[in-house]
Structure 1
Amino acid sequence: MWKFTVRRILIMIPQIILLSVLIFIMAKMMPGDALSGLIDPNIDPETIAEQREKLGLNDPWHIQYANWVKDLFQGDLGMSFRYKMPVTELIGQRLANTVWLSLLTLVLIYAISIPLGLISGRYNDTWLDRVITGYTYIGFATPLFIFALVMLWFFGFTLGWFPTGGSVQPGVESGTFEYVMNRIYHMLLPALSMALITTVSTVQYLRNEIIDTKQKDFILTARAKGASESRIYNRHILRNSLLPIAAFFGYEITGLIGGTVFVESIFSYPGMGQLFLESIVQRDYSVATSLTLLFGIATILGALLSDIILSLVDPRIRIK
């Protein structure tokens, strides 16, 4: 197990290096650079050229990349020209909101998908199965940003059941029980919007696993020995069907990364996803590159986590 984990981590290192190189090159291809927006365009062009030379923006790209990586290891992600503050501090302000939104979404995903998958798999080819399967087909066909807009319009603006923006109501004292509940209240609608769409793949996978497990020889043997249906499902079918679901936990995390980018912008939720889209629109060079790198590293770590869990569930896939 340790050998497998160490080898996966060693494989991950060149992936992160390649990711950083690609992000840096694509960022250099964007209009403007890290100095854009920080200076008055009416300043003398010679002064601007001197400033670019001082910041190393005229150096070859590989030298700029080496300096960028050195700053990353020192915790320096540059300055945001829009917010006029260090990118590290700016991301730190938004990170907690995105983490809590993702955690609530994960809880809702498994709270919805596991019961629906169990019912659909156990009672396959019944009207209940057809209703649940129909829901998953609609979920597969519906873009997340369209569904989130509908949820915002119906439950936020039409019914007024949920707030339509922000992460907490102004004036609520931080650290109190009211503050915690208010934050959950603001997160609930965007989290539910992501969960209802993201959960459909888990429902289908769990349904198929249960149907496949029901036909295995050890299940037929248990029935032949007179074991009750409840015992067969609880002790054999569910245990074997739920294990692969746990292995995809890391991939659920990576799937949420793309979801938060759209959902946070739609619900005006001040997280890293909203900040990412704003940085692209505003051409905030330092923020865009830093967030792209963080999202990429999170995706790689999610895949690593899934591989480790899957190796625990099924030791046959471990690298010898």
Structure 2
Amino acid sequence: MWKFTVRRIGIMIPQLALLSILVFVMAKMMPGDALSGLIDPSIDPATMEAMRDKLGLNDPWFNQYMDWIKGVVQWDFGQSFRFKMPVTELISQRLINTFWLSLMTLILTYLIAIPLGITSGRYNDTLADRLITGYTYLGFAAPLFIFALLMLWAFGFNLGWFPTGGSVTPGLTPGTFEYVISKINHLLLPSLSMALISTVGTVQYLRSEIIDTKQKEFVVTARAKGASESRVYNHHILRNSLLPIAAFFGYEITGLITGTVFIEKIFGYPGMGSLFIESITLRDFSVVTAVILIFGIAAILGALLSDIILSIVDPRIRIK
């Protein structure tokens, strides 16, 4: 187990290095630079070039990359040219919001997916199974941003059950009961919108696992020995079907990364996703590279977590 984990971490290190290079190079290929649109066009071009030299924007890309990566190792992404504050401080404010949104989405995803998957798999080819399967087909077909817009229109603007923007009601004191309730209220609609779409894959997978496990020889043997149907289902079918679901927990995290970008922008939620879109629009190079790098690291760590859990569930996949 430890050998597999160490080897898997060893594979992750060059992935992180390659990710950092790709992020930096692709960000440098964006039109303009950090000073584009910030300086009065009437300023003397020589003065503008002097400012670019002072900021190191005219240095070779590999020199800029080395300076950038040294800062990243020290958790220093430089200064945001647009927001006029350190990138680390800016990201710290948004990262907390995205964390709570992702956590709420994960909780809702499993609260919805596991009961539906169990019902659909246990009672396959029934009316309940057809209804649940129909829901998953609609979920696969529906684009997340369209579904989120419909949820916002229906439950936010039309019915007024949930807030339509922000992460908390302005004026509330952090730490108070009202503040916590307001944070949860602002989280519910965006997280539920994302969970209802992201849950369909887990429902289908759990359904297939339960149906497949019901055909296995050890289940047939348990029934032949006279075990009750509830014992066969709870101790043999359900237990073996749920184990692979746990292994995909890390991949659920990576799936949330793309989802939060759309959700946060649609619901006006101040998180990493909305910051990413704003930074691209404003050509804020230092913020763009920092956000993409954090998203990439989260995806790689999510895959690592899933591989480790899967190796515990099924030791056969461990690297010898």
Shorter-chain TM-score bucket reads over 0.9
Q: Does 1:66 align with 2:66?
A: yes
Tell me the amino acid that sits aligned with residue 70 of structure 2: K
**What is aligned with 1:228?**
228
Give distance in 1, aligned partners of 2:230 and 2:47.
79
**What is aligned with 2:14?**
14
**What is aligned with 1:304?**
304
Give distance in 2, aligned partners of 1:64 and 1:282.
20
**What is aligned with 1:164?**
164
Q: Is the 8 A contact 2:34 2:283 kept in 1?
A: no
Give distance in 2, aligned partners of 1:140 and 1:267.
22
Q: Deviations over 1:59-84 (max 9, x none)?
A: 21111111111121222212222211
Q: How does 1:245-284 map to 2 (within 5 A)?
A: 245-284=245-284
Q: Does 1:92 align with 2:92?
A: yes
**What is aligned with 1:135?**
135
**What is aligned with 1:203?**
203
Q: Deviations over 1:4-43 (max 9, x none)?
A: 1111111001011111111111111111123334433332
Q: Is the 8 A contact 1:37 1:81 kept in 2?
A: no
Give distance in 2, aligned partners of 1:39 and 1:8.
47
Structure 1 counterpart SS, 2:35: coil
Q: Does 1:219 align with 2:219?
A: yes
Residue 225 of structure 1, CA deviation: 1.1
Give distance in 1, aligned partners of 2:173 and 2:68.
39
Structure 2 counterpart SS, 1:33: coil
Give distance in 1, aligned partners of 2:34 and 2:181.
40
Give distance in 2, aligned partners of 1:165 and 1:223.
54
Give distance in 1, aligned partners of 2:190 and 2:303.
24
Q: Identity, % of aligned pairs?
A: 76
Q: Is the 8 A contact 1:152 1:267 kept in 2?
A: yes
**What is aligned with 2:2?**
2
Give distance in 1, aligned partners of 2:21 and 2:81.
23
Q: How does the TM-score come out when normalised to structure 2?
A: 0.98
Give distance in 2, aligned partners of 1:49 and 1:284.
18
Moved more, 217-226 or 66-75: 66-75
Give distance in 2, aligned partners of 1:297 and 1:41.
38
Tell me the amino acid that sits aligned with residue 143 of structure 1: P
Give distance in 1, aligned partners of 2:66 and 2:14.
16
**What is aligned with 2:40?**
40
Give distance in 2, aligned partners of 1:121 and 1:200.
14
Tell me the amino acid that sits aligned with residue 108 of structure 2: L
Tell me the amino acid that sits aligned with residue 296 of structure 2: G
Residue 178 of structure 1, CA deviation: 1.5
Number of equivalent positions = 320
**What is aligned with 2:26?**
26
RMSD: 1.0
Moved more, 98-107 or 72-81: 72-81
Give distance in 2, aligned partners of 1:154 and 1:120.
28
Q: Does 1:242 align with 2:242?
A: yes
Tell me the amino acid that sits aligned with residue 297 of structure 1: I
Q: How does the TM-score come out when normalised to structure 1?
A: 0.98
Residue 243 of structure 1, CA deviation: 0.3
Q: Deviations over 1:179-233 (max 9, x none)?
A: 1111001000000000000000000000000000000000001111111111111
Give distance in 2, aligned partners of 1:279 and 1:37.
13
Moved more, 33-42 or 90-99: 33-42
Q: Deviations over 1:79-125 (max 9, x none)?
A: 22221111110000111100001000000000000000000000000
Give distance in 2, aligned partners of 1:133 and 1:290.
40
Please identify runs of 4+ aligned residues in structure 1 that moved more than 2 A. Answer: 34-43
Structure 2 counterpart SS, 1:196: helix
Give distance in 2, aligned partners of 1:64 and 1:212.
54
Tell me the amino acid that sits aligned with residue 17 of structure 1: A
Q: Does 1:153 align with 2:153?
A: yes
**What is aligned with 1:49?**
49
Moved more, 185-194 or 221-230: 221-230
